[in-house]
Chains A and B, each alone.
Chain A
Amino acid sequence: MTAGSDNDQMTKMGTAASFVALIGLADAVYLTVSHYTSARVPCSIIEGCEKVLTSPYAEFAGIPLAALGAAAYFAAFSLAILAAFGNRTMWKLFGIHTTLMFLFTGWLIYLQAVVIGAFCQFCLISAATTAILFLLFIVSRLIARK
């Protein structure tokens, strides 16, 4: 495989990844805002997002996980854009970044399933976008290796 088509491949993957990261970013921004405004919402018997987003696990060192997620998605988006414009190092950083995000998402899914016992649909959307970002990077590595 020539360096040119390799770059082409990275441009496509980077562009795709930046779009997926935008979806995750919008979702995380929504979750961050609802984290701070959830006190305006009455507490309901029906469990779901209210339970997950107000659980002790929704914050890390006083920072809502959703805000950390938004920052992570923004970083992923920036790296993917830089990679789409041909920066190879940024694509490698993107790979490391999404791998960490993917591992962290696994931990969050575990918390929701086993510890909190409730799923929040917007948190699951975030899990899906992270998984797609991770897969995009893995696929790009597999294609590059051929």
Chain B
Amino acid sequence: MQNQPEPKNSSTPIIIILVALVAVGALAWYFYSSSRTEPVAKTAATPAANGNRTTTTPAPAGTSAQPVNAPSGAPLGVNMTGSPTATVTLEEFADYQCGACAIAHPVMRDIKGIYGDRIKFVFRNFPLPMHNNAYNAAVAVEAAGFQGKYWAMQDQIFTNQAAWAAPGADFARLIAEYAAKIGLDPAKFQNDMDGRPAKDRIDADLARGKGLGVSSTPTLYVNGQMVPYQELRVDSLRRIIDGELAAASGATNTAK
């Protein structure tokens, strides 16, 4: 092989590069679809359990029972909707700065709308240490709770997550904006943000979550059974809750 300043075949490298480009596209699609189909496939074949009259608790595969000796968390009140005497209890542990929790938020809102007083829904704070403003966001919601605007503030915090959790965002100013939007008394709100009671509620929830072994957010318990993350969809939750409601009414019927 002597001096060879010019390439042997100038089109070959271009072809290789184009093939690589197509391969990259295929690879990206493969990664994307494998990250997406997994949860869907798991719940696709599950039938709606409408006529479920069994008296035993239908525990969906993969759920795990709550330990009984965990701390009770913040006293129930503003963080609860539905009926306190409902036979089905949903307890959600969430972090306001967690993207997956923001995605689960409208699902929970739909579920609360569908079932109303037939369920008892409890929200628990579980701010993760790696999210710099998750704890403060929880404080804001609890502080709004002292003015009866707990859920309105939670809506603001979750729907505007991308804004206040963005790098370099002016957290305090944005929170004050949301507070004004839902009609909070700014002085009282600031006072409650600074005070201990809101933080005590969060710390109590955190202690309960840790006691239960919550290790990621969102984590949802239905009647003490942990619901796998993949099932945090309206259709899956309806199936689980309908099963629990049917089981409870079945138990009442046999007791009569």
Name A residues whose Cβ lies closer than 8 Å to a Cβ of B: 2-4, 7-8, 22, 25-26, 29-30, 32-34, 36-47, 51, 54, 56, 59, 70, 74, 77-78, 81-82, 84-88
Closest B residue by C-beta to A82: B13
Q: Are A29 and B31 in contact (CB under 8 A)?
A: yes
Separation in Å of the A86 CB from the closest CB of chain B?
A: 4
Separation in Å of the B67 CB from the closest CB of chain A?
A: 17
Q: A51-B130, A86-B6 are in contact. Are A42 and B31 (CB under 8 A)?
A: no
Contacting residues, chain B, for A59 (C-beta < 8 A): 167
Within 8 A of A (CB), among B136-174: 166-168
Contacting residues, chain A, for B216 (C-beta < 8 A): 42-45
Does B252 make an interface contact (CB < 8 A)?
no
Within 8 A of A (CB), among B1-54: 1-10, 12-13, 16-17, 20-21, 24, 27-28, 31-32, 35-36, 39
**CA separation between A28 and B2, bound complex, in Å?**
39
Name B residues whose Cβ lies closer than 8 Å to a Cβ of A: 1-10, 12-13, 16-17, 20-21, 24, 27-28, 31-32, 35-36, 39, 95, 98-103, 128-131, 166-168, 215-219, 229
**CA separation between A56 and B166, bound complex, in Å?**
7
Separation in Å of the A53 CB from the closest CB of chain B?
A: 11
Contacting residues, chain B, for A40 (C-beta < 8 A): 35-36, 39, 100, 103
Q: Are B100 and A78 in contact (CB under 8 A)?
A: no
**CA separation between A20 and B25, bound complex, in Å?**
18
Closest A residue by C-beta to B217: A43
Q: A29-B24, A29-B27, A40-B35 are in contact. Are A77 and B217 (CB under 8 A)?
A: no
Q: A4-B1, A4-B2, A78-B17 are in contact. Are A43 and B27 (CB under 8 A)?
A: no
| B35: contacting residue among A26, A33, A74, CB under 8 A | A33
Contacting residues, chain A, for B167 (C-beta < 8 A): 56, 59
Q: Are B24 and A33 in contact (CB under 8 A)?
A: no
Q: Are B99 and A54 in contact (CB under 8 A)?
A: yes
Contacting residues, chain B, for A37 (C-beta < 8 A): 32, 35-36
Contacting residues, chain A, for B36 (C-beta < 8 A): 37, 40
Listed A/B pairs (7) with beta-carbon separation below 8 Å: A37-B35, A42-B98, A42-B100, A43-B128, A44-B215, A54-B99, A85-B10
Closest A residue by C-beta to B39: A40
Beyond A42-B100, A82-B13, 20 additional contacts (C-beta under 8 Å) are A7-B1, A29-B27, A30-B31, A34-B35, A39-B100, A39-B102, A39-B103, A40-B36, A42-B216, A43-B131, A44-B128, A45-B129, A45-B216, A74-B21, A81-B20, A85-B10, A85-B12, A86-B4, A86-B7, A87-B7
Contacting residues, chain A, for B21 (C-beta < 8 A): 74
Contacting residues, chain A, for B101 (C-beta < 8 A): 43
| B100: contacting residue among A4, A43, A85, CB under 8 A | A43
Q: A41-B100, A43-B216, A86-B8 are in contact. Are A26 and B27 (CB under 8 A)?
A: yes
Separation in Å of the B121 CB from the closest CB of chain A?
A: 19
Separation in Å of the B152 CB from the closest CB of chain A?
A: 24
Q: Are B24 and A43 in contact (CB under 8 A)?
A: no
Q: A42-B217, A42-B218 are in contact. Are A22 and B20 (CB under 8 A)?
A: yes
Separation in Å of the A67 CB from the closest CB of chain B?
A: 10
Closest B residue by C-beta to A37: B35
Q: Are B28 and A32 in contact (CB under 8 A)?
A: yes
Closest A residue by C-beta to B131: A43
**CA separation between A88 and B1, bound complex, in Å?**
17
The 10 A-B pairs at the shortest CB distance, nearest first, are namely: A56-B167, A39-B99, A43-B98, A33-B31, A86-B7, A44-B216, A42-B216, A85-B7, A85-B13, A37-B35
Q: A41-B100, A74-B21 are in contact. Are A33 and B215 (CB under 8 A)?
A: no
Q: Are B16 and A8 in contact (CB under 8 A)?
A: no
